């Protein structure tokens, strides 16, 4: 008998066909809308595998309903949407998709940094809104990138890839991480500092750490107070790492200069969110890894992990080893 698999969103065909070769597949086919929880609660009961996205919360309640589940394959590197401990206790494997999205996410992080520093979105709107009457000395002036100090909060794969880009832009790069990474320090000319020093000295603070209870609101009022009033905060990791109310206050009171956000605590972010009222905030709809090649690779990798787990092999990226 073929193993049963539930896929929580329409995924690229290549990945879908691969899974269909050996599994009985049910896929939530509603065009680009997350599967309702009530549907997922029913579907999880009998399946051997779940292929999901970061939009699904696979928590203890949901897991308690599963009778045959062996694997949850998440099409994302972040897996804060899954209760890994509950899955482990139930003997369910959890997999993610690191590596394939590193460079694409680092590109977006840098693009967001540049767009925020040089006010690209605001400038484009300025022109389109017919406000461009003349060239003038201080019109739409931003912050320099060349020669500035970048502070990476977190130095995983994406952190290193961002540091490499910063090297090319002639930036001085600081980082703070749970542990020092001596090889990376040498390769990318990085300086390890404590969090306080990083916040005080950086012109760009880039949040690149995974989201967990320990990193919830890691950037809060106190941290924002430490930053320069010319500093820019960039977050392409997870929204909950930054306290959004504190960030709004800091931006409004000009304690920091600007922010670039690809992620929000609640996604999609409400159009009434106070942060969206500020001109010095560049916002994006969680598109860090959104290149055609990378999303296809992520989809294929998640399919491969799912199939390996169902065939009794160890998936390459198993979160709960
Ligand atoms: C991830 O993979 O965790 C990103 O947030 C989406 O690519």
Report the catalytic residues. Answer: 238, 267, 286
pLDDT at residue 4 in the model: 98
- 3-state DSSP call for residue 94? strand
Pick the CATH number of 102-283 from 3.40.50.2000, 3.40.50.720, 3.20.20.210, 2.40.30.10: 3.40.50.720
pLDDT for 61 equals 98
The enclosing H or E element of 59 equals none
Residue 156 has pLDDT above 90, yes or no: yes
Ligand 1 centroid to 97 CA: how many Å?
9
77 Cβ inside 6 Å of ligand 1 = yes
Q: Does the CB atom of residue 208 touch ligand 1 within 6 A?
A: no
Q: What average pLDDT does the chain have? A: 97
Which of ligand 1's atoms lies nearest the C-alpha of 238?
5
Instruction: State the span(s) of the chain assigned CATH 3.40.50.720.
Output: 4-99+292-310, 102-283
* 264 Cα to the center of ligand 1, angstroms: 13
pLDDT beyond 90 at 316: yes
97 CA closest ligand 1 atom index: 2
Q: 22 CA distance to ligand 1 centroid (A)? A: 27
What pLDDT is recorded for position 31?
76
Q: What is the pLDDT of residues 5-51, one digit of tens each?
A: 999 999 999 999 999 999 999 999 887 899 999 999 999 999 999 99
Is the domain defined by 4-99+292-310 classed in CATH 3.40.50.720? yes
Closest atom, ligand 1, to C-alpha of 237:
5
The pair of structure tokens assigned to 26 is 């049910």
Q: How many CB atoms lie within 10 A of CB 302?
A: 27
Residue 221 has phi, psi (to 5 degrees) of: -50, -45
* Confidence band, pLDDT 50/70/90 cuts, at residue 121: very high
The percent of residues above 70 in pLDDT, for the chain, comes to 100
pLDDT 10s digits, 302-313 = 999 999 999 999
Give backbone dihedrals phi and psi of 196, rounded to 5 degrees, phi first. -60, -45
Q: Residue 29's pLDDT is what? A: 85
Say whether 261 sits in a helix, a strand or coil.
Answer: strand
Q: What angle do CA 107, 288, 300 make, to 5 degrees?
A: 105
The CA 104 to ligand 1 mean position distance, Å, reads 11
DSSP state of 211: P
Return the closest-CA partner of residue 7 out of 97, 38, 34: 34
Residue among 9, 55, 94, 101 to mutate when testing ligand 1 (max atoms within 8 A of CB): 101
Q: How confident is the model over 269-281, as pLDDT tens digits?
A: 999 999 999 999 9
Q: Is 8 in the pocket of ligand 1 (CB under 6 A)?
A: no
- The best mutation among 55, 78, 284, 292 to test binding of ligand 1, ranked by most ligand atoms within 8 Å of the C-beta, falls on 78
For ligand 1, atom 2, name the residue with the nearest CA.
Answer: 76
CA of 102 to the centre of ligand 1 (A): 10
What is the distance between the alpha carbons of residues 23 and 1, in angstroms, rounded to a whole number? 9
- State the sign of the Cα–Cα–Cα–Cα dihedral 71, 320, 215, 110: negative
- At 159 the pLDDT is 98
Confidence of residue 321 (pLDDT cuts 50, 70, 90): confident
């Amino acid at each position: 008998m073929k193993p049963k698999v539930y896929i929580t969103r329409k995924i690229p065909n290549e990945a879908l066909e691969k899974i269909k070769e050996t599994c009985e597949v049910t896929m939530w086919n509603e065009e680009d809308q997350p599967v309702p929880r009530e549907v997922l609660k029913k579907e999880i009961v009998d399946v051997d595998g779940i292929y999901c996205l970061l939009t699904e919360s696979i928590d203890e309640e949901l897991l308690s309903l599963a009778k045959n589940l062996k694997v949850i394959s998440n099409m994302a590197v972040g897996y804060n949407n899954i209760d890994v401990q509950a899955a482990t206790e139930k003997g369910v494997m959890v997999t993610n998709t690191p590596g394939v999205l590193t460079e694409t996410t680092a590109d977006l992080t840098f693009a967001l940094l540049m767009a925020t520093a040089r006010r690209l979105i605001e400038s484009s709107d300025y022109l389109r809104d017919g406000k461009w009457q003349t060239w003038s000395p201080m019109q739409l002036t931003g912050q320099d990138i060349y020669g500035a100090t970048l502070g990476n909060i977190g130095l995983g794969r994406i952190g290193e890839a961002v540091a490499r880009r910063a090297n090319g832009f002639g930036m001085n790069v600081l980082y703070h991480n749970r542990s020092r990474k001596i090889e990376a320090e040498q390769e990318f000319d990085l300086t390890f500092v404590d969090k306080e020093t990083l916040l005080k000295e950086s012109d760009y603070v880039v949040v690149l750490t995974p989201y967990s209870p320990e990193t919830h609101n890691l950037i809060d009022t106190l941290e924002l107070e430490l930053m320069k009033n010319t500093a820019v905060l960039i977050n392409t990791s997870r929204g909950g790492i930054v306290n959004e109310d504190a960030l709004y206050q800091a931006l409004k009171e000009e304690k920091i200069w600007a922010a670039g956000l690809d992620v929000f605590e609640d996604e999609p972010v409400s159009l009434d969110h106070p942060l969206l009222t500020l001109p010095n905030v560049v916002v994006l709809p969680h598109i860090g890894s959104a290149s055609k090649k990378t999303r296809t690779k992520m989809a294929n990798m998640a399919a491969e992990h799912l199939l390996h787990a169902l065939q009794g092999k160890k998936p390459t990226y198993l979160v709960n080893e």
